[in-house]
Structure 1
């Protein structure tokens, strides 16, 4: 009798469903199907155990990993350093999930099947260079800006109920001047509502000033990295530090993984989505997917160009005469901008060496 072992191809694909504390892996042979599953802890010892276990089943074609940018980031880095091909598996199809159910083992099996079928082809970001540094600093910067805005809104809400004298003194002050003025308050004690208001206003003002300093420091650090990594982006009209940072973050430290300008436009949610069928063939709709922060950054660049960039002003005038609406013109210009920056990020100047 011929056993299942005799039918194996000798090559395997490994699918991994990632979590915070454990990862679940499934090995699939192209001829036999799933031949084993394994649960490992999310540490170096667990990753080494996964590598040894998978290699024992045959020559590894690729690893399909869910969440290579989150819970699967450290495993992805480990396997890449070991020389294995890693593919972003993505989430399972919702229709199949409703039909077959949901479990960690099933998700790992689906990840392996998607890689073997060629449905999962995305190359993960390496996250090992200046762009990853920019991304991390931008996380801190954006949260600081959000907290700074919340602090000022709360401060002004409390100020509405302050005594007339204090409200009259602070009227028409800028945010920075208001914060510095209120941070210098010296409450007498804590015996009345007015005293509590002064304590609260001083606390909120000092918080705003601290967050403002933090945001400005982080912005300077991000700017230095962006200028070092892609100075050519900043030469483009209407593209500043924030927009350039968003562009680099989406592209990653290995922009060669984005194979075409159309693929980059799709990642930014700028490419149209076909919706034709039958007699309505050829119709398209707006892409509501993609990286929305990058989409918004490109939109801001287009608005700046439509106001101050002479070639863009001439283009808008010509397209308006052709009967296009402002919204349609903006969509066209967004595609022009994404095409420009795609070629800019593909050109990678030599990065300076950092002193250890």
Structure 2
């Protein structure tokens, strides 16, 4: 046995820096440090090569994979199905990058060190069920809604320069009625700016109608999936399909990875961050991290409850009388909602009641 082998534990972790076409891996022994690196293609053959290569160094404790929600998603899924523990390695520390430089190999080594040191512990989403299906449909839905809005804004901006008769015909119409009216225009030959305007308005109106139909179809598909995956999320007051879909996308198909209500609150950017130091101990600030779309969805739920949910209205009145500001009350209510959501996505836990 050579001197290098005498200082190996036989237990290794593997860090992977992921990219679109190739992944770079580094294997690290628990006491022997970095042992070797490997570059693989991003296909099933490359993933199997990585797994076999890692096993050749000993028992693999875990794979630390960067970007498990993007370029590393397929690799993470392959390793999970093969029975390996997969951890989200996260981005390398910027201070280390400034001091040591950056390369794919260094990033892979840093991912392995983060796993071995216990800094990287997050379990990635499994992305193999209804939650992943909802996420993919929401990508298409949100883009359709965004482009539909852009088309309507452009139509209304162009109508400012339209002839008086056309402006009078379209004044006060709803978006659907406006699109229907403009789509029915019969443009003449292109002989004047007004003819070009009619062509443009007709094209934009037809585009809006197509995107509107597409968005509605995707909304229905998302609603069906939400009702199939977690109908209990639709029962609380103020939580609609959009909010429930956002919750499922963030939680993923393996909600057991979220160990506590506080962890979900942190994931949603709702848990306060301590900022005390010296004589200012006990102070906190808003957490500006977390999933901003979920944070916004929870905020909308709180606003709906503050307007129409009597127990919440009573709670707001009581806390206002105690001297709390509206902003502080909303923060408290967001924590109530996220706590309620946590127990809904983990049915084995006890239920909680809304503020009263």
Aligned to 2:190: 190
Aligned to 2:77: 77
Query: 2:275 and 2:99 mapped to 1: Cα distance?
Result: 26
Aligned to 2:163: 163
What are the residue-to-residue correspondences of 1:89-104 with 2, within 5 Å?
89-104=89-104
Query: 2:88 and 2:273 mapped to 1: Cα distance?
Result: 22
Query: 1:66 and 1:8 mapped to 2: Cα distance?
Result: 25
Does residue 66 of structure 1 match 2:91? Answer: no
CA RMSD of aligned residues (A): 1.0
Q: TM-score, normalised by structure 2?
A: 0.97
Secondary structure of 1:190 counterpart: coil
Structure 2: segments with no counterpart, 5+ residues? 349-356
What are the residue-to-residue correspondences of 1:12-23 with 2, within 5 Å?
12-23=12-23
Aligned to 1:264: 264
* 1:230-265, Cα deviation, whole Å (9 max, x unpaired): 111111000100000001111100000000000000
Aligned to 1:287: 287
What are the residue-to-residue correspondences of 1:305-316 with 2, within 5 Å?
305-316=305-316
* 1:270-323, Cα deviation, whole Å (9 max, x unpaired): 000011112211111110000000000000000000001010011001000100
Question: 1:2, CA displacement in angstroms?
Answer: 5.0
Query: 1:2 and 1:209 mapped to 2: Cα distance?
Result: 73
What are the residue-to-residue correspondences of 1:1-150 with 2, within 5 Å?
2-150=2-150
Query: 1:241 and 1:249 mapped to 2: Cα distance?
Result: 12
What are the residue-to-residue correspondences of 1:195-344 with 2, within 5 Å?
195-344=195-344
What are the residue-to-residue correspondences of 1:335-354 with 2, within 5 Å?
335-347=335-347
Secondary structure of 1:165 counterpart: helix
Secondary structure of 2:38 counterpart: strand
Structure 1: segments with no counterpart, 5+ residues? 349-356
* 1:165-184, Cα deviation, whole Å (9 max, x unpaired): 10111000001000000001
Q: TM-score, normalised by structure 1?
A: 0.97
* 1:159-218, Cα deviation, whole Å (9 max, x unpaired): 111111101110000010000000011111111111100000000000000000000000
Query: 2:310 and 2:325 mapped to 1: Cα distance?
Result: 19
Aligned to 1:354: none
Query: 2:347 and 2:66 mapped to 1: Cα distance?
Result: 29
Secondary structure of 2:17 counterpart: strand
Query: 2:65 and 2:2 mapped to 1: Cα distance?
Result: 33
Query: 1:302 and 1:314 mapped to 2: Cα distance?
Result: 13
Query: 1:250 and 1:293 mapped to 2: Cα distance?
Result: 9
Question: 1:52, CA displacement in angstroms?
Answer: 1.0
Question: 1:347, CA displacement in angstroms?
Answer: 2.1
Query: 1:269 and 1:220 mapped to 2: Cα distance?
Result: 28
Secondary structure of 2:136 counterpart: helix
Query: 1:6 and 1:189 mapped to 2: Cα distance?
Result: 86
